Amino acid sequence: MSNKAGHQARKRFGQNFLHDPGVIERIIRAINPGPDDSIVEIGPGLGALTEEILAVNPRLQVVELDRDLIPVLRTKFFNYPEFRIHEADALKFDFSQLMVDRPLRIIGNLPYNISTPLIFHLLGQAGVVQDMHFMLQKEVVQRMAAVPGDNNYGRLGIMTQYFCKVQPLFEVGPGAFRPAPKVESAIVRLVPHGTLPHPARDLTTLQAVVRTAFNARRKTLRKALGGMVSVAQLQSLGISDGLRPENLGLADYVAIADLLADEKGAAKTANEVSND
């Protein structure tokens, strides 16, 4: 379906353009942009949110991959000389380069087909972020906010909550977009923790433990983590090997990862001593 600007929404970019004025206004109220904020919009599309943000903050920066949209945006917002467009793939973009004197406020109606890897990419840059407001598939927001025991609980929720406070805000129906997606959407606010509530000694180890566990989420921990952690090690942490991955909280996964990181460090030290 084409739209007012004559741009055809591209399936390969997962484009669904927001057009409902009431929804746009509600999103802007949730973001509450300030004139001095360092705001970055991912995938501005035809500029529905961009227009409202620029009216408050003329130094808005956007990251857009679809080169056909860039002249549309340049033409539409020609009277904002400080408006900057970065023609780039957000999945590969280094957002830290945009931070000058204050942390970034990142917003976007994210394409559903890349939302999960993009969230992981942004979590890796959480140190330069003040907050993030995203339109996502409702199911993705549910997974991000899920708690142990919830069917939606898994790797995305654990790692998002490791870095950020997750606040689902409100749901948005398909009719707010052109073309209308086949799924419900939702707005979520992510606020990076000032101090991590459960800092891991080695983030890579934590990510490996969580990924391995949820690759076999229906199995008990004894089987799901059998190649990484022994029953005795789990018991030493007070964790029953008969539980399933979805029964453990973030602190439990950090405890397992720290135990493995400590053992790896001890083994490395012993090896260095033996080689001296």
- The annotation places the binding site at 16, 18, 43, 64, 89, 109
Per the CB < 8 A criterion, the answer to whether 273 and 230 are in contact is no
Q: Which residues of 6-43 are buried (b: 16+ CB within 10 A; e: fewer)?
A: ebebeeebebbbbbbeebbebbbeebebeeebbbbbbb
Task: Compute CA 240 distance to the chain's CA centroid, rounded to the nearest angstrom.
Answer: 31
* b/e map 233-272, b = 16+ CB within 10 Å: bbeeeebebebbbbebebebbbbbbbbbbeeeeeeeeeee
The answer to whether the beta carbons of residues 240 and 258 sit under 8 Å apart is: no
DSSP 8-state class, residue 9: P
C-alpha 200 chain-centroid distance: 19
Q: Are strands 177-178 and 104-109 parallel, antiparallel or unpaired?
A: unpaired
Residue whose structure tokens are 């917003």: 107
Query: How far, in whole angstroms, is CA 74 from its chain's centroid?
Result: 28
Give binding residues for S-adenosyl-L-methionine as ranges. Answer: 16, 18, 43, 64, 89, 109
Q: Rounded to 5 degrees, what are φ and ψ at 272?
A: -65, -40
Cis, bond preceding 181 (omega within 30 deg of 0): no
- Helical axes 138-145 vs 115-123, angle rounded to 10°: 40
